[in-house]
């Protein structure tokens, strides 16, 4: 019998997580059954259980992907360009990219579900905290650059970073639950709020 390559295993795992994500967005974490995931992924129970022995593992896996995606989007927004863009421009780019990803993968819906689940799942809470720490450090580095240029010197960079980054959860809430049309003005609003 031929050996299964790591790429094959990675692809199988990714397919299962994508199917679970669709189920979770449609039905929520706790109303989705493993049978729903088997059907959505078009895989046998054994094939799914090989990678994810229980539904909790699927929840954590999908949540980890979503958190990694948001963290990467912020990092890309911060590193895109010459490094001289202002905070408003960086945050606007972040929100615009989040909007695109939300259309494709329901990123905002999943983010809200992950936050809620983190209240009862310590492993997820740790992942959320780790992602927030990374994002906070990334934004603080940008704030430090602005402070070196003479702006906002009276407040510590990490405190300013948390305030600036708090725009993201509000934006995700608007996209997922409230009125996505109202969220359309957020990118231009942050450009205006933080022009430098």
Task: State the total domains in the chain.
Answer: 2
Specify the 3-state DSSP secondary structure of 42.
coil
Judge if 186 and 109 occupy the same domain.
yes
Confidence of residue 57 (pLDDT cuts 50, 70, 90): very high
Range of the structural domain that residue 8 is part of:
1-53
Query: Cα dist. 37→56, 89, 122, 164, 194 in Å?
Result: 13, 40, 24, 37, 44
Q: What is the pLDDT of residues 79-111, one digit of tens each?
A: 876 556 788 999 999 999 999 999 999 999 999
- Contact 70/146 with Cβ under 8 angstroms? no
**136, 106 in Cβ contact below 8 A?**
no
CATH number of 169's domain: 1.10.357.10
Most confident stretch, 33-42, 62-71, 123-132, 135-144: 33-42
pLDDT at 51 over 60: yes
Range scoring the smallest mean pLDDT among 11-15, 97-101, 103-107, 146-150: 146-150
**pLDDT over 90 percentage in the chain:** 72
């Amino acid at each position: 019998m031929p050996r299964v390559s790591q790429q094959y295993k990675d692809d199988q795992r990714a397919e299962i997580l994508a199917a679970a994500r669709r189920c979770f967005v449609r039905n929520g974490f706790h109303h989705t059954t493993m049978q729903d995931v088997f059907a959505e992924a078009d895989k046998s129970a054994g094939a799914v259980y090989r990678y994810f022995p229980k539904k909790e593992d699927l929840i954590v896996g999908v949540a980890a992907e979503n958190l990694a995606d948001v963290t990467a989007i912020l990092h890309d927004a911060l590193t895109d360009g010459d490094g001289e863009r202002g905070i408003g421009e960086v945050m606007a780019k972040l929100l615009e990219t989040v909007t695109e990803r939300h259309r494709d993968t329901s990123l905002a819906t999943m983010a809200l579900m992950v936050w809620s689940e983190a209240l009862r799942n310590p492993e997820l809470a740790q992942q959320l905290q780790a992602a927030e720490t990374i994002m906070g450090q990334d934004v603080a580095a940008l704030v430090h650059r602005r402070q070196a240029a003479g702006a906002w010197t009276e407040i510590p960079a990490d405190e300013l970073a948390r305030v600036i980054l708090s725009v993201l959860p509000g934006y995700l809430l608007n996209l997922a639950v409230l009125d996505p049309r109202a969220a359309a003005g957020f990118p231009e609003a942050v450009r205006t709020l933080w022009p430098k």
